[in-house]
Amino acid sequence: MAKNYSIAVIPGDGIGPEVIAEGIKVLQAVSQKNGFTFNADYFDIGGERYLKTGEVLPDGMIDKLKKYHAIYLGAIGHPDVKPGILEKGILLRLRFELDQYINLRPVKLYPGVECPLKDKGPEHIDFVVVRENTEGVYTGAGGVFKKGTPDEVAVQESINTRKGVERCIRYAFEYCKKRKKMNKLTLCGKTNVLTYAFDLWERTFNEVAKEYPDVQTDYTHVDALTMWLVKNPEWFDVIVTDNMFGDIITDLGAMIQGGMGIAAGGNISPEGVSMFEPIGGSAPKYTGKNMINPLAAICAAGMMLEHLGEEKSGNEIEKAVIQVTTKHLKSLAAGQMGHTTTEVGDFVVKYMQE
């Protein structure tokens, strides 16, 4: 019997619905081609709903989402909502409560894509960041004291647990082994200043490394990493790091792979429900203009299929995306592609069917 996947779709805010529509179009095409089916249930959450109803994430939503094979997310973030409310109330809550403890962010420069780094091409930029996704400064631990007075104190703590660090590092070693590229795993930290947190990370890394004698290990401070990613991105295969550093270095990664228009990620819960998203955000400026690049959302759909065990379909999506970046797009930036959002989605479908 043909496999059927149930997908929870959260188009979200801003350009989210437009790019998700293209991703769904591609999923429909690839599923028909490769003999599986999926049903998409749409969930209306995000800034608009919050502004209308005051509700961020409705009660019972998380339990509902747990019943799906995967979640496909567009974007969360609204210009009229104070920063932090939607991010913490939706995106981070989903990551935490669904225990999506890995944020997997591939950085790959596709042929035909302009790279801002001089003399670097697709042969130099192909690495994956394994970002811890449930701890660090993201837990919200800390507080304020004497707010608004000259004596105000603000504390924002970084929580690192042995269990949380170890499961992330283990995932990274396994991923590196499976990827079979350079077989090299780099720990990115800041052992010279964050002497509690990254001492735990480094010790755990070195211990787990003993179980993977075939994986070459390396360490770099995060500040130095931002330098190497610009100067020698070809040194990297898989990078493992904490939540905050992972957030920062993957925006740098997105730029060297051609921009937010192509950068996709997966919030992975190896034991539960994972969530796939373009990492670029809601881009309110471009909302409803049919100008935004849907390739990041399409690549996120590809990652989702790969995660569900439909590797062939995931690869076919990637191949089709490469055809489009090589043959059609003037730029990956919104409004500068030389094509509309829907046209780019149509191109991907067309190449997949060839």
Residues making contact with ligand IPM (CB under 6 A): 87, 91-92, 247, 279
Nearest approach, Cβ of residue 92 and ligand IPM (Å): 6
Residue 306 contacts Mn ion per CB under 5 A: no
Of 247 and 277, which CB lies nearer to Mn ion in the complex structure? 247
Cβ atoms of 222 and 189 closer than 8 Å: yes
Of 208 and 265, which CB lies nearer to ligand IPM in the complex structure? 265
Of 237 and 247, which CB lies nearer to ligand IPM in the complex structure? 247
Nearest approach, Cβ of residue 307 and ligand IPM (Å): 17
Dihedral angle computed from the Cα positions of residues 92, 95, 98 and 99, in that order, rounded to the nearest 10 degrees: -120
* Segment interacting with Mn ion (CB under 5 A) among 33-41, 177-185, 243-251, 255-263: 243-251
Nearest approach, Cβ of residue 110 and ligand IPM (Å): 21
Of 41 and 251, which CB lies nearer to Mn ion in the complex structure? 251
Query: Can you tell me whether residue 36 is helix, strand or coil?
Result: coil
Dihedral angle computed from the Cα positions of residues 104, 195, 163 and 240, in that order, rounded to the nearest 10 degrees: 20
Binding partner of 346, given Mn ion, ligand IPM, none, CB within 5-8 angstroms per partner class: none
Binding partner of 91, given Mn ion, ligand IPM, none, CB within 5-8 angstroms per partner class: ligand IPM
Nearest residue to ligand IPM by CB is 87
Residue 132 contacts Mn ion per CB under 5 A: no
Question: How many angstroms separate the Cα of 253 from the Cα of each of 39, 125, 141, 265, 271?
Answer: 33, 9, 28, 12, 27
Nearest residue to Mn ion by CB is 247
Of 50 and 173, which CB lies nearer to ligand IPM in the complex structure? 50
Binding partner of 87, given ligand IPM, Mn ion, none, CB within 5-8 angstroms per partner class: ligand IPM
Residue 247 contacts Mn ion per CB under 5 A: yes
Of 27 and 129, which CB lies nearer to ligand IPM in the complex structure? 129
Which tokens in the block code for residue 307? 């995660």
Nearest approach, Cβ of residue 156 and Mn ion (Å): 17
Of 89 and 122, which CB lies nearer to Mn ion in the complex structure? 89
Of 18 and 277, which CB lies nearer to Mn ion in the complex structure? 277
Conformational region of residue 301, where left means phi above 0, alpha means psi within -120 to 50, and beta covers everything else: alpha
Residue of 13, 100, 49 whose CA lies nearest to 278: 13
* Segment interacting with Mn ion (CB under 5 A) among 44-52, 69-77, 105-113, 239-247: 239-247
* Segment interacting with Mn ion (CB under 5 A) among 205-213, 225-233, 234-242, 247-255: 247-255
Q: Cβ contacts of residue 171 below 8 Å, gap of 6+? A: 101, 102, 130, 268, 270
Alpha carbon distance 31, 112 (integer Å): 27
Handedness of CA 260, 261, 262, 266 (dihedral sign): positive
Nearest approach, Cβ of residue 295 and ligand IPM (Å): 17
Conformational region of residue 281, where left means phi above 0, alpha means psi within -120 to 50, and beta covers everything else: left
Alpha carbon distance 289, 336 (integer Å): 13
Dihedral angle computed from the Cα positions of residues 336, 227, 267 and 178, in that order, rounded to the nearest 10 degrees: 110
Which residues, in sequence order, are bridge partners of residue 39? 6
Residues engaged in binding Mn ion (CB under 5 A): 247
